[in-house]
Amino acid sequence: MSMENRKVRVRFAPSPTGPLHIGGVRTALYNYLFAKKHGGDFLLRIEDTDQDRFVPGAENYIIESLKWCGICPNEGVGFGDGHHAPYRQSERKPMYRAYAEQLIASGNAYYAFDTKEELDEMRKRMEVSGGTHAYNAITRQTMKNSLTLPEDDVKQRIEAGQAYVVRIKIPRNEEVRVLDLIRGWVIVQSSQMDDKVLFKSDGMPTYHLANIVDDYTMQITHVIRGEEWLPSAPLHVLLYRYLGWENVMPQFAHLPLLLKPDGNGKLSKRDGDRLGFPVFPLEWNDPATKEVSSGYRERGYFPDAFINMLALLGWHSSGNQELFTLEELVNEFSLERVSKAGAKFDPEKAKWFNQQYLRKRSDEELTELWMPELTEKGVKADQTYIRKAVHLIKEKGNFLHEFWSLGSYFFIAPEKYDADVMKKRWSEGSSKFIAELKGAFETMEGFSSATTEVQFKTTAEKMGIPPGQVMQLLRVCISGLGGGPALFGIIELLGKDEVVRRLEKMLDVK
């Protein structure tokens, strides 16, 4: 089958060594968008070839994160098997050895018996002499491997059960070219590469071998991954070549890294703790340290807002649009528009995205989302009333969890009054004004925002007080807070009886 008419198939291939951080989520997102855009498949493969680094719960965390974000793979661990199961490399273990042996047979790989100590010693030696400390075309001649040892010695060692690894035999001096969809041609001299281990002494392949074998057998057409993989891309190209798969080798795209908001460097777990914003999509309880790391979900972010925010970190459409639904992202996405430079993460903009999505939610939907908290607080109000309150509150908040502190006064008369405003605005004549206003309100027939506002102003003017001087005071009497939605909208919704009661209460307190 030629490359051109193959169905697009991409994969997200994390290692279950801990919670997925937002950089990983963005990689998954771009893979998802690319797949959907081209009517292709998006699969999840778990790269657990390093059994020492296995963290319980990490795999499930990855699956739950993708689900929460709404970017579900259509194939893979946790999402149903396709034709290429299993999708966990530990379960694919039996298939890798044959490929390592194929590479040995074709002269592109070899057995190496060096111990950890011998390797350390070699590296030290090379560093002293100023050279690179790599296992390569030069240094391998001085090491214990099937290139330097007699054939029967090698055979004997293997039969005796001596530990060995399989290393790729990188050519002495050859130009290796990788075409990256984001960066163009990247050219590396093989003299700068080293004989990476492909197959470990514990019987597992390393990432490099497993990755190539799986991408080939799973018919992956595009490898979209983080920039930290760019240096090993030439190695991967060589592996495709030596395995005889170069004609179906996937195309590569290395994504720019997500950088910490201050200073420089890759965004890490520590930055979140230090700067007070989540680095993970979901809250994570570390099973070993018992440490808890906060998540976007638990902080009250909407998944679509979170995804929208991540999509714009390293990618931009041709226009000025910044708010995209998932469907719009799918339509607009292209690797050509992914930027090359790393993107500093901005927690402030993340909040702004959530605010935008909060506003986009209907009053009905927000009411429904808020109901559990209201019920828990013992609020007994009818749906229409709550919906109207929500309508006023949502213009002032960024998160649903702020609603109660922003608008509890719609359900409970304030217990406390904003101290700053009281100090600044309460004066000798204030009681008189409140009493006067209460009386005026009581006599009103209707009680709309328009009529109460007129009543308020005439009362103030009658007493020779500029309305602006007592407006915020009235707000505090009604809500206890110094700021909030349009005041007379609140007054209308609360209704005459309640407003009068609250004015009375203020007079009692003062």
Site for RNA in 52-71 (CB under 7 A): 53
* SS3 track for 367-405: HHHHHHHHHHCCCCCCHHHHHHHHHHHHHHCCCHHHHHH
Contact segment (CB under 7 A) with RNA among 27-35, 61-69, 186-194, 270-278 equals: 186-194
Q: How far is the CB of 160 from RNA (least distance, A)?
A: 15
Binding of residue 175 to RNA (CB under 7 A): no
| 90 near RNA, rule: CB under 7 A | no
Q: Which residues contact 477 (CB under 8 A, 6 or more apart)?
A: 417, 434, 502, 503, 506
Q: Residue 222: what residue type?
A: H
- Tell me: does residue 416 bind RNA (CB under 7 A): no
For residues 328-387, which are near RNA according to CB under 7 A? 337, 339-344, 346, 348-349, 351-352, 355
Q: Which of 284, 212, 282 is closest to 249 using CA atoms? A: 212
Q: Annotated catalytic residue: which of 200, 269, 351, 360?
A: 269
Examine the residue annotation and report whether 269 is marked as an active-site residue of this protein: yes
Do 455 and 444 contact (CB within 8 A), yes or no? yes
Among 65, 190, 452, 472, binds RNA (CB under 7 A): 472
**What residues contact 129, with CB distance under 8 A and at least 6 apart?**
none
Residue closer to RNA, measured from CB, 327 or 348 = 348
> CB of 185 within 8 A of CB of 258?
no
* Residues present in the chain in total: 510
Element containing residue 185 per DSSP (H, E) = strand 184-189
Phi–psi pair at 378, nearest 5 degrees: 80, 20
Q: Which stretch binds RNA (CB under 7 A): 71-79, 213-221, 224-232, 439-447?
A: 224-232
Residue 424 in tokens:
């600044």
Closest to RNA by CB, 53 or 416: 53
Considering the rule CB under 7 A, would residue 310 count as an interface residue with RNA?
A: no
| Smaller CB separation from RNA, 227 or 283 | 227
Q: Of residues 99-118, which lie at the interface with RNA (CB under 7 A)?
A: 114-116
Distance CA 278, CA 296 (A): 6
Residue from 316, 360, 391, 401 binding RNA (CB under 7 A):
316
Q: Which of residues 13-42 bind RNA (CB under 7 A)?
A: 13-15, 17
Among 202, 364, 373, 497, binds RNA (CB under 7 A): 202
228 binds RNA (CB under 7 A): yes
> For residues 149-168, which are near RNA according to CB under 7 A?
163, 165
What's the closest the beta carbon of residue 4 comes to RNA, in angstroms? 26
Handedness of CA 420, 425, 426, 431 (dihedral sign): negative
β-pairing, 184-189 vs 175-180, is antiparallel
Tell the residue number behind the tokens 């002293």, with chain if given: 128
Q: Which of 78, 82, 300, 467 binds RNA (CB under 7 A)?
A: 467
Catalytic residues: 269
